[in-house]
Each structure stands twice: as C-alpha cells, then as structure tokens.
Structure 1
Amino acid sequence: MAALALAGRQDAYRELLARHRESVFRLVRASVGDPHEALDITQETFIAAFSALGRYDHERPFLAWLKHIALNKCRDWARRRKVRAFFTRAMPLEMAFDVSDDAISADVQAVDRAELARVTAAISRLPSRLRDALVLRTIDGLGQAEAAEVLGVSEKTVETRLYRARGKLKAMLGDQI
C-alpha cells in the first residue's frame, strides 16, 4: 500500500490513513494524555510520514515505522509543553458538558475521572524512554517484540524499561495502583 501511495495514488493515502489512524491516535493520546493535543499530533504524524514515504524501508512493518514517527512527535510536543502548560491543564469542553450515565452515580464518575487524570498525569511525567515502553505494551497492547521494533531496541530493553516505569509509577501514585 505504501508503494502505491508513493506512486501518487490518492486512494492509497486514504487507505493507509483509514487503516492506521485509530492505532496511532491511541498511542499518542496515551503518551500525551490530552485528546485534543493527541489529535493534532496524530495529524502531524501522518503529514510527516506521508512526506517521508520515500525513506520508508519496505522490509519493516509500516505500522511500526508510523508509530516510531508518532513517538518522535510526542517527544517534540513534550519539549514544547512548558510554554503551553496553561492550556493543557484546562478542562476539555467535552468533559464540561459530559452527560452522566444513570447506571453509575455522579460521585463515582467524578472519582473515576479524577483517578484517571491522576494516573495519566503520572504517566506523562515519566521519562520518555520509560513512558514509551509502558504505553506501547500496556495501553497500546503491543507484544514485547513489536514494542522493541517500534522503539528500535531489544526485547530485554523493553522489559527492563517496563519494569522501571511500573516502579516509578508505583512510587508516584503510592499503593493505590
């Protein structure tokens, strides 16, 4: 499919986007924690990937190459985050107008949202090499070998980083994880 896109077929670009956008968005959202920023970074990822399609190594899986670009975009965003700290802490509009589910009480929903925000914030404070391994394995659901391929490291390195990330999260969040 990448070869067809490189040959200029617009339908191939649309197919690549349709096939991989949700997976890339989940990875980015888990990495940055903000769904609005994640949408922008996902778009930047596809723009960068499509403009660099000529450098894609067809021996590697396309999704692994795309996720590698996405993680680089997340790192770029993290470096710029301090300037935009005010905006990333603001409550997203969809949370302000959230419609409650009758089956779950409002106070339980509020506690769950607060806990999710606390864990997401803790994950975003992890060093990128640990955060990337954690997000790829536990949130994105990749296997050890797949995560290693995306990160460009050995499977043992992924295992070590995952262990360290979990330890740091436990220290940040206490015994509540």
Structure 2
Amino acid sequence: MAHINLGLDEENFPGITGLLTFRQETAAPLNALAEALLHAPHPTLSPGERELIAAYVSGLNECVFCATSHSAFAAAQLDGGMTLVSQVRADLDSAPVSPKLRGLLRIAGAVQESGRKVTASLVEAARADGATDLEIHDAVLIAAAFCMFNRYVDGLGTRLPVDPIAYEEAAGRVKTIGYVRTG
C-alpha cells in the first residue's frame, strides 16, 4: 500500500500510474514531459535509445518500478531487445552500444549522482564520439527528470505490479501511443 491513500485499487494502478490517477492536475504536465523526452519525434535519438537512458538512470537510482518499466519500454523499441538493455544496465563499458550512446549514458549516470558530476571532459568525450549539443542536452534532461520520477514513485511507496507481464503490456502501449493520455 502506498504511503498515502490514493483512493483506488492499487493493484490495478501500480507505480506512477496510481499517482497520476490520484492527482490529475499534475498528471497532464508529467505525462507531457515524458512524451516530449521519450516518445515524441527526435531528430537523432530513437525512442528506444531515450527509454534506455531512462531505464539506466532508474536502475542507478534503484527504483524498481521505473527501471523495470523503462527497461521493457526500451527493449520493445531496440533491435537488441532486453538482452541489450540488461547488458547496458549490468556493465555499460562492455555493452554493445555505439560510442555516442555510451557517452550519453555516462553523462546520464553522472547526472544521477549530481548535476555537478557532469564535467567538461565527459561532454567533450561524448562530442568526440559524435554526440550533438541537442543529444547532450536531452540526455541530461532525461536523467534529471527520471531522478524526479524515481523519487516520486519511491517517495510515496507505490506498489509494483502483481504480474510482471504488466511491464510488457505497458511497453506495447507506450511504443504505440506514447505517454499522453486522452479521455
């Protein structure tokens, strides 16, 4: 049970879904932020790559709901699937990702520790591997936003889904329709 009374059946509204249902006024802008960062068209980073950044940061933050959710969302949109996601989360240095994506993930990992951990040398290394200023910006913003989302979910003690298949089902929805809910 969450730390507060959400006024709903938490088994059917695990993790952030219960919190967003509880507080509609904040749900819309939070969903819009997730949509802009992870699902909306991007000139160079795929939705799967952006979801991988979210999953990586959520794993570093030990937020089980978000790490598992966004790992499933990334896996559904990356050619390497869950194998690739697991490799990145287990050992970024040996994971089979492009040098550019590895650099962006390193920057995201630094943000997870503290924004001040993002150094000029990390940024220059990512640039040397092909990252653009837009990609660096977005990696930092995704990481910062997921530190907030992770703390929101864990800070209110939300439930995990009873059935792990729920993550895969949600991945299909996110891949198809994204984060903005209508109706």
User: Which structure is richer in relative contact order (CA contacts within 8 A, separation 6 or more)?
Assistant: 2
Does TM-score exceed 0.5, indicating one fold? no
Higher helix share: 1
Q: TM-score, normalised by structure 1?
A: 0.32
